[in-house]
Amino acid sequence: MTVAVRFPEITHSGELRARLGGVDVTGTSVSALATAFAVDRYATAIDMGRCSAALAAQDTVLLTHCHSDHVAGLVAWLSAHTRRHRERPTRVVVPAARRQALLEALAVWPDLDGVRRRVDLDQALTAAQPGDTVELGGDSRARAFAVHHSTPSLGWTILEAGRPRPVLVFTGDGTVEPFRADPSLLDAEAAVVDCSFIEPGTRVAARLGGHGHLQDWIELLGVLPCDTLVLAHLQPEVTAQVMLACLDKASPTDGQVIVPWVAAGGASPDAGVGDRHRRK
């Protein structure tokens, strides 16, 4: 059995974009550098490791955690969103244990006065804990769940009214442990997960660092209920060809598609490994 692999397309601004669960998701996710996804349909960004025009247009930022590669773009987002999208809501949802520290950091950031005039940061920053629900645009909502990383962190499940299953799950950074214990956490049309490590011999290091390893995900494929598994937070040197080679022996459940969050480069964007890929 071979695995169906699909790669995101590159937008005119150099970001990656894929249609996941019928919804366009645009963004960047490179380990230790920057993770930020925009979902226009819900006017929502998940993490803000960097900003872009697509990200600036979102009204809500759901943070998974406050490591710099997930929040470094917040200052730019606050500035661009409150200037370019002046009449729109401005909201950052942050793990409760980090809200105060984030608020203090933004309160003293140099030359953020324009932002502090346009928006009350104390009101804009919303604390969230596992089980909390946040109303989003497009008749949707996000539900927070616990993940296993090296700092207070949340995963986010996005549900849309009228759709029987969650559309998207973003796990942020973290090990596979919560999903091995309860695969139903990834019961969604598409799940975006941490695949920081791919080299054999780095599984222990991945777990100790609070990250996912490709081999962990490959072993779990048979029980993961998501239709599409997005492998994000890859190291910067990982290419599409490397991922195709690594996924050669993977066995997803029937119809399941894997999307490594890396540009296709020379690989076909619809690259079933081998010639028996089963994507319809």
Instruction: Specify whether the CB–CB gap between 192 and 170 falls below 8 A.
Output: yes
Q: How near is the Cβ of 198 to Zn ion at its closest, in Å?
A: 15
- The distance of closest approach from Cβ of residue 254 to Zn ion in the complex, given in angstroms and rounded to an integer, is 32
Identity of the residue, 67 or 148, whose beta carbon is nearer to Zn ion in the bound complex: 67
**3-class SS string, 152-205:** CCEEEEEEECCCCCCCEEECCCCCCHHHHHCHHHHCCCEEEEECCECCCCCHHH
Longest dimension (CA), the chain: 58
Phi, psi of 74 (to 5 degrees): -60, -40
- The CB-of-56 to Zn ion minimum distance in angstroms stands at 21
Read off the amino acid at residue 84.
Answer: R
17's tokens: 């974009």
Q: Which is nearer to Zn ion, 66 or 246 (CB)?
A: 66
> Least distance (Å) from Zn ion to the CB of residue 146?
15
Minimum Å distance from CB 35 to Zn ion? 6
Site string for Zn ion, 158-197 (x = CB under 5 A): ---------------x------------------------
Binding span for Zn ion by CB under 5 A among 53-61, 63-71, 214-222, 261-269:
63-71
- The size of the interface with Zn ion (CB under 5 A), counted in residues, is 3
Answer for which of 15, 47, 69, 189 binds Zn ion (CB under 5 A) is 69
DSSP SS3 for 2: coil
Residue 28 is encoded by which pair of tokens?
A: 């960047």
Q: Does 227 bind Zn ion (CB under 5 A)?
A: no
Query: Which residue, 33 or 127, is less far from Zn ion as judged by CB?
Result: 33
Residues 6 or more apart whose Cβ sits within 8 Å of residue 199: none
Residues forming contacts to Zn ion in the complex (CB under 5 A) are 67, 69, 173
